[in-house]
Structure formats: structure tokens, C-alpha cells
């Protein structure tokens, strides 16, 4: 007995036509996503539509490969606009390439969707495509399947031989730096969760949450200057913890030097000053780079960040202790609160 196999005799023509139609439907999803970025790059020998993509690696360069998954309800609320999901699925990967100092080239997209919703796919594709175009990334392949909404992007880029920025190269005495303000995405999330999406004071912060712009130009400007680099996706302290551990060093942070959102905006959401500082220390989804540089390189770093119109903040120093210390202006240790809303209700940090 083979009860779960059903045989339906149909004509071979209908049979083949049905198979082709289904496959076209699948391909069509990916094609729509790719349509917005056609011709972005001339190093794509063969793009979407075959068993694989054929790509022309940059001569003499090394290849950098990154891969990140977003799961609905864990990495973004189920009701998130598809444009923001598409943008973010690529952004989190490009931020990883930025942290390696890589020039982004290509992306592959695995999209698991509960149902075929052409409108959703179009908005998703518009978000993915907008960032791809802005970053000169070509979508060269992928897969579409049915199932609970899950998006995995693999991004590929190039870096000069042995030049990639790593997290395990921080040296004692180096300065710890960031550019831009930390905790802005977390403030945006707090505003959204408080039902303040229409409050224009939070527009900038909601944009930082929904359309983070990976610091690709900064990553490349740091080549030859920074010793260690990481992207801040899970919160400044947590991510710098990886640098400290991988490099076998300690990090001392100067609390007053850490750029945070305005206290007044926090107050509008019933957040104390302390809570605003904690957003900067532990809020996720910033996608800014944190890096260490030898003191002697600070002048050149200032030149390069000024060219990129970025505000450079020197927030601490690498020490021979282990772990991370946060010092107040008075020299005391600061104890941040723990933020329990990592990735939207997921308390285990995934």
C-alpha cells in the first residue's frame, strides 16, 4: 500500500505545461526582485535563471562571504512593512561586509514565504532593491520556498589580500572609536512600540530602525588604519565584548564620550536619562562600526572620517585587563540596565 502517492493521468502536454508554469512562478518572484537592479554590475557573467550564478572575482582580491537570517516575529515584528524587511535583510549582511572592510559585489536571497503575495513581494523587492542599488550590489541567485516567513541573505564582496578587518587584532593602548550616534534604532523601536510612529520627532529614529545604512564607505576607509573592527548589531557593550574576547584584551569605555540620543526625546517616551544612555550601550540594530586604532593613526582617521562627513567619537581605550569597564566622569564604574527587548521579545539574544 502506497497510500500517500496519488496518480493522476493527465496529458503529457498539460503535465509539462503545469510544471513549467509552476517553475516560472517561482522564478518570477526572484526575477521581480532582481528587476530593480539589472545592470548594476558588469562582473556578473550569468545571473538568475540557471542552476547557479557565474561571477568574475576581482583580480588579486580576496573574497569575503557573510550570511544572516531574519525570522519573522523574532528579528522583526510580524506586522513590519515589507519594504523595511527587504531593506533590512540586505542591510544586516552589508553591515557585516562593512565590518570586514569589504567592497560589496553580489547577493543571494533565500526567501521562505507563507503564501504567494505579489504585492508583498514587490514591496519586499523594492526595499531590497533600493539598498542594493545604493550599494552597487547585484542579486545573482537565490531560492523561493513556502513556509513560515524567513529570509536568508548571503552577500559576497572583495578585499585586498590580507587586509580584511578582523575582531581579533585589538592591541593594548589603542583607542576605541565609533562614528554616529548609538541607540538611535532602539529609540525608534521604543517610539514604534509606544504607538508614536506618526510623531515627527521620531522620524529620524524610525528610519534608523527600518532602513539602517551599513557603513560600507567607512569600512573601506578603515583599511590600513583600524586594527580591529566589528559591526554593532546586538548592542555596543555586547559586540565590543566579542572584540575583547577574540583579541584577548580589556576595553575601558568613557561613559561621557559615548554618543546617545537626546534625553528630551527619551523623556517624551517616559525614558529616564539613564535609560537613554542604556539604549546607546545595549540597544540593538544600530549597524554602526566600532573599531580600534593606534593613537598615532587618529589624525589620519580624522581626515578620512571628515571626508566621509562622519562624526568621529573616541569612546575608550584598549587595556591589558580582561572584559569591559564603563567609567563615569567621576571615575566610578557605571552599571547599565539590561534591555530585555532584544530582537522583539526574544530574550535569548539570537
Cα dihedral 311, 317, 322, 326, rounded to 10, equals: -60
Q: How far apart are the first and last CA of the chain?
A: 44
**Rg, C-alpha atoms of the chain:** 23
Asked if 8 is part of the footprint of a copy of itself (rule: CB under 8 A), the reply reads yes
Among 39, 42, 51, 330, binds a copy of itself (CB under 8 A): 51
CA–CA separation, 346 and 248 (whole Å): 29
Residue selected from 224, 248, 332, 349 as contacting a copy of itself according to rule CB under 8 A: 349
Question: Are 171 and 292 in contact, with CB atoms under 8 Å apart?
Answer: yes
77-82's contacts with Cβ under 8 Å and 24+ in sequence apart are: 77/344, 78/149, 80/210, 81/123, 81/210, 82/120, 82/121, 82/123, 82/124, 82/127
| Interacting positions 55-74 with a copy of itself (CB under 8 A) | 55-57, 61-74
Of 30 and 181, nearer to a copy of itself (C-beta) is: 30
40: alpha, beta or left, given left = phi > 0 and alpha = psi -120 to 50?
A: alpha
Q: Which of residues 183-242 bind a copy of itself (CB under 8 A)?
A: 190, 193-194, 230-231, 234-235, 237-238, 241-242
- Contact between 39 and a copy of itself by CB under 8 A: the answer reads no
Closer by beta carbon to a copy of itself, 74 or else 298: 74
Query: Among residues 39, 52, 299, 331, which is the contact residue for a copy of itself, using CB under 8 A?
Result: 52
Interface pattern 126-165 for a copy of itself (x via CB under 8 A): --------------xxxxxxxxx-x-x-x-xx-x--x-x-
Calpha distance 104→202 (Å, rounded): 30
The single-letter DSSP state of residue 188 is H
Mapped onto helix, strand or coil, the DSSP state of residue 25 is helix
- Specify the residue, 200 or 338, whose C-beta has the smaller distance to a copy of itself: 338
The footprint of a copy of itself on residues 247-306 (CB under 8 A) is: 269-271, 275, 278, 282
How many C-beta neighbours within 10 Å does residue 31 have? 16
Q: Which is nearer to a copy of itself, 49 or 173 (CB)?
A: 49
71-110 binders of a copy of itself (CB under 8 A) = 71-75, 96-97, 99-100, 102, 106, 108-110
Nearer to a copy of itself, 24 or 308 (CB): 24
Amino acid at each position: 500500500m502506497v497510500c500517500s502517492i496519488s496518480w493522476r493521468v493527465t496529458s503529457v502536454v498539460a503535465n509539462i505545461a503545469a510544471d513549467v508554469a509552476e517553475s516560472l512562478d517561482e522564478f518570477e518572484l526572484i526575477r521581480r526582485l532582481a528587476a530593480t537592479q539589472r545592470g548594476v554590475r558588469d562582473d556578473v557573467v550569468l545571473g538568475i535563471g540557471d542552476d547557479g550564478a557565474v561571477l568574475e572575482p576581482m583580480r588579486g582580491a580576496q573574497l569575503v562571504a557573510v550570511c544572516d537570517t531574519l525570522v519573522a516575529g523574532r528579528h522583526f515584528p510580524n506586522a513590519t512593512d515589507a519594504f523595511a524587511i527587504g531593506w533590512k535583510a540586505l542591510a544586516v549582511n552589508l553591515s557585516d561586509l562593512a565590518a570586514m572592510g569589504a567592497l560589496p559585489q553580489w547577493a543571494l536571497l533565500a526567501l521562505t514565504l507563507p503564501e504567494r503575495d505579489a504585492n508583498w513581494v514587490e514591496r519586499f523587492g523594492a526595499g531590497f532593491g533600493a539598498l542594493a542599488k545604493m550599494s552597487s550590489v547585484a542579486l545573482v541567485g537565490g531560492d523561493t520556498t513556502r513556509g513560515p516567513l524567513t529570509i536568508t541573505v548571503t552577500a559576497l564582496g572583495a578585499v585586498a589580500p590580507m587586509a580584511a578587518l578582523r575582531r581579533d587584532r585589538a592591541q593594548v593602548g589603542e583607542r576605541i572609536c565609533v562614528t554616529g550616534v548609538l541607540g538611535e534604532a532602539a529609540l525608534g523601536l521604543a517610539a514604534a512600540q509606544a504607538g508614536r510612529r506618526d510623531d515627527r520627532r521620531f522620524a529620524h529614529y524610525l528610519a534608523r530602525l527600518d532602513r539602517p545604512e551599513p557603513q560600507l564607505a567607512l569600512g573601506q576607509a578603515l583599511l590600513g588604519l583600524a586594527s580591529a573592527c566589528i559591526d554593532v548589531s546586538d548592542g555596543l557593550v555586547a559586540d565590543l565584548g566579542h572584540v575583547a574576547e577574540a583579541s584577548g584584551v580589556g576595553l575601558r569605555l568613557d561613559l561621557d564620550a559615548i554618543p546617545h540620543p537626546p534625553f528630551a526625546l527619551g523623556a517624551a517616551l517616559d525614558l529616564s536619562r539613564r535609560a537613554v544612555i542604556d539604549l546607546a550601550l545595549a540597544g540593538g540594530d544600530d549597524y554602526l562600526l566600532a573599531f580600534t586604532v593606534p593613537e598615532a593613526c587618529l589624525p589620519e582617521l580624522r581626515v578620512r572620517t571628515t571626508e566621509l562627513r562622519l562624526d568621529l567619537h573616541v569612546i575608550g581605550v584598549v587595556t591589558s585587563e580582561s572584559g569591559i569597564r564603563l567609567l563615569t566622569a567621576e571615575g566610578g564604574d557605571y552599571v547599565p540596565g539590561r534591555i530585555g527587548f532584544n530582537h522583539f521579545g526574544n530574550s535569548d539574544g539570537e
